[in-house]
Structure formats: structure tokens, C-alpha cells
Amino acid sequence: MTIQYRHRGATRFWIAALGCLALAGIPAPSSVAQAQDAGKVLPLPAADRQEIEKLLGKGVIGDALPAKPLPPAELYMTGMQGRISYLIRDEKGRTKDEAHEFAKTAGATPESWDYRIGKDRRAIFTKTADGGLVTSLEYDLDKEVVSQFTPGEPLILTGLKPGDSRRTTIHVKVADIDDPTDVDYDGALDVTYSYLGRYRVTVPAGSYDADLIKWTYAGEIGPATIKTAQYRFVAEKNGMVAMVEWRDISAVLIYHDRSRQGKLLTAAK
């Protein structure tokens, strides 16, 4: 989840919210703890189901399945194709296609991946020592800014048990894309990360057994006050297969964004 804005000449504020696959790790549980948690079935809370079905429809979420602690990030990434397509649906029912590209960065130490959404957005994922990934940088190529995260923004917390949550604070700096030391704005986001369980999910690309992760964000970056939430269904060897995001971003009298959208996997090449 990135908040990006930039002024040039006269005061202009640009705020963009970008959801990506970002992966961070926590110490993995012991094999005994993993065995104890294997097979835990969690019914999806009614409030969460309602939020998801508003945008994805009622035919997407199927049965609740036995859920284990979240595996290392690479298990979700193995088998992902270089080009991925999603159907985007907004709260008014309007739809469009969106192309994503995913590639490992050659020769990078530590290992990293380049994730692009359309022509204007890009994220860098870096592998952590325990097998997770973090989003360290996100670029808005249209607005010519880069957002830097300390620590990296989490998506998959390796070893997190079904039904558990973790909270963290992410410090954000927004800088000129040509000179990351030229910081325009900074601030912090409080993030609550929850593993809601595993469910059978049906999208245009097929049916998947997917882990459901929920994020909630709240904080201030420069002049902007941010409240937002994301739900992502992530499947082993296929990555994100469905997503819902709502956001409420306000920069005093300058900018307001109150919107909701859903994403459904349509194809991978």
C-alpha cells in the first residue's frame, strides 16, 4: 500500500494508492506448532464476506478449507508467469483489464523481484533472510515519485497461524524519482495484518485453494490522512488470484479519494 504525492512549480498534490504483492517474514514456527495448526478451518466472518462480495460477487468465495501457517513467499511465487492479467471492477460496476508483469532481478543481492502494473506503476520486492519478501520501493512513473518503506511493507508473514494478526508501523518517505534523496513528504502508517483462513476461490482463470490475507492501514503521510483496507486471496504457485481494496485518503481541501475496487485473475502467460 503506497501513498505517493508530489508538487512541481505551483502547489500540486498527487496521491496514488497502489496494492501489490509484498512479502515480509517473521520467525517460522517449529514443526510441532505447524503440525498443531494443520487443518484449521475458519469460517469467513460475515462482515468480511460482505465487503468482498460487494465487488467480487457471490460466486467467487467457496468452501472454507483446512489452513496451515503461511509458507515462505517463494511457494506462492513458484510457477507464477511473467505476464498476468486481471479484470478490475469498481463500486459502480464498471470494468477494465489490467496487465501485471513479474520478473526476477538478475544478479541482485539479496534476491529481488520487479513487479509492474500497467505502464505507470512499479514495485521492488526484496527477499528476507527467513524466506519472505518485503516491498522496499514503489514507483509512480506518471507522477515521477518513489515511495521508500522502512521496514518493508508486508504481504506474506511466513509462519503466521490461521486466525492470527500482527501489527507494525511502516515509515514512508516520498521522493523525486530522479533523486531519492530529495524527500518531499514523510510519515508513518500503522498496519494490521490478519490471516483469515483458506478458501476455495473461483475466478475467470479457474478455481484455486487460496489463503485470505487482510490489511488495514491508518496514518498520515505529509498532508494526507489515510485509512484503507485490502483483502488478497493468494494461491500457492499462482500468487494473487483475487483482491478487494477500499481507501479513504484526504489531504485537507486539496485531494480526496474514497473508492473501492476488486480484481479477479483472468489469465497468466
Phi and psi for 124 in degrees, rounded to 5?
Answer: -110, 120
pLDDT value of residue 195:
96
Distance of CA 6 to the CA centre of its chain: 22
pLDDT, residue 224, reads: 83
Output the pLDDT for position 111: 79
Total tally of structural domains belonging to the chain: 1
Radius of gyration of the chain (CA): 18
- What digits encode the pLDDT tens for the residues 184-221? 889 999 999 999 999 999 999 999 999 999 999 899 88
The label of the residue with cell 520501493 reads 137
Query: What pLDDT does 141 receive?
Result: 87
Three-state SS at 33? helix
Kindly report the number of other CB atoms within 10 A of residue 252's CB atom: 10
State the pLDDT at residue 10: 27
Predicted TM-score (pTM) of this structure = 0.81
User: What was the pLDDT predicted at 257?
Assistant: 62
Positions in the chain whose pLDDT score sits under 50: 2-37, 253-254
Please enumerate, as own/partner, the contacts of 76-82 that have beta carbons within 8 Å and a separation of 24 or more. 76/21, 76/23, 76/156, 76/234, 76/235, 76/236, 76/237, 76/238, 76/239, 77/102, 77/113, 77/239, 78/236, 78/237, 79/237, 79/238, 80/237, 80/238, 80/239, 80/268, 81/268, 81/269, 82/269
Q: Which domain holds residue 101?
A: 2-268
The pLDDT value recorded for residue 112 is 81
What is the pLDDT, as a whole number, of residue 8? 40
What are 53-73's pLDDT values in tens digits? 999 999 999 999 999 999 998
Pair 168, 160: CB distance under 8 Å: no
| Burial label, 180 (beta-carbon count in 10 A; 0-12, 13-18, 19+) | middle
| Amino acid 93: pLDDT | 87
Entry field: residues in the chain: 269
Residue 252: the pLDDT is: 53
Distance of CA 40 to the CA centre of its chain: 24
Residue-level pLDDT at 11: 31
